[in-house]
Amino acid sequence: MIENGGVPNAISCRRWMLLLACWLGLIAPLHAADALPGTRSDVYTQTRYPIVLVHGLFGFGAIGPVDYFHGVAQALRDGGAVVYAPSVSAANLSEVRGEQLLFELRALKAAYGHEKFNLIGHSHGGPTARYVAAVAPELVASVTTVGAPHTGSKTADGLKQMARGSSVPAALANALSGAVSFLSGESGLPQDALGALQSLDSEGAAVFNRRFPQGQPGAPCGEGAAMVNGVRYFSAGGTRVATNPLDLSDAVLLVTSRFFGDEPNDGLVGHCASHWGTVLRDDYEWNHLDEVNQSFGLRGVLSPDPLAFYRLQANRLKKAGL
């Protein structure tokens, strides 16, 4: 009710003040609690088993305040999940990286009593996680791969041809991977850029898949078994390259995407190559770095939020009792 030329009367004022007090006193504290890590107001991502984030080529767990999975661990922890992000060799064979990850998981089990783990691997982190699930399925509840080159990367194929006969590219790549591992506090990890390239090209991926076929699609660009040896398998990928003009890494991915011709890809991985186990989606409007919310969250204006994707996947695992 408005009286006296548009000035609310005392009853109306008290009503609005009461509503404002309710909003500030009841609603605002709920949002504040959701934002605080360690609270139990949000259990959306509270999986039964811890989540382990496995980085890709030239990746790392964390360098100072910078995470490879930018903001992902905190987004999951805010929902109640226990999350680890170990470092493995920035560049090496899938089997070598897998053994390093297996060592980390066994150490976490010994220290904290965890029975199993939900592995989420990006890019080369996908085959790395698959190796552990194949050789030690008793430690793994699920494997989710994001932008992983399961059947190899055409970019790796092209770089292998370009580098043939020269040791300089490998030396530079080893220097880069060594620097990344040093900055992440893991200077003792071995680096082998040629080994990484061998694992990521089409030929090397085919050899790896013959050894560790768990979850492999039965047909090209199809889906694989949802569960093998008690381990659930999921996969997702993107098919955009240049997604944000402010992201300088997009320029690099535009160059690497040229190896794919007309095939949809994320700049480094073709959309069919990302398929493994249950395919959640293979055409997110993300490039290879958007898939882990890099560079620092820059992505297409209308593209899905990667943090929401990881929270949704954690909730899916939670509902499955994992």
* E-assigned strand segments in 174-309: 227-228, 231-238, 278-284
Active-site residue, selected from the candidate residues 87, 275, 288, 290: 288
For residue 155 the two structure tokens come to 């970019």
Interatomic CA distance for residues 296 and 281, integer angstroms: 23
What's CA 25's distance to the chain center, in Å? 37
Is-catalytic flag, 275? no
Retrieve residue 276's tokens: 């493994």
Token pair, residue 159, equals 């770089």
User: Could you confirm whether 266 is annotated as catalytic?
Assistant: yes
Catalytic one of 266, 274, 275, 290: 266
Look at phi and psi of residue 267 and say left if phi exceeds 0, alpha if psi is from -120 to 50, else beta: left
- Of the residues 123, 177, 199, 274, only one is catalytic, namely 123
Report the length, in residues, of the chain.
322
Given a contact cutoff of 8 angstroms between Cβ atoms, the answer to whether 286 and 240 are in contact is yes
70 annotated active-site: no
Is residue 318 a contact partner of residue 45, using CB atoms and an 8 Å limit? yes
195 beta partners: none
Rounded Cα distance between 124 and 139, Å, is: 20
Rounded distance, CA 108 to CA 122, Å?
Answer: 21
Do the strands 140-146 and 62-63 form a parallel or antiparallel pair, or are they unpaired?
unpaired
Specify whether the CB–CB gap between 144 and 236 falls below 8 A: yes
Report the catalytic residues. 123, 266, 288
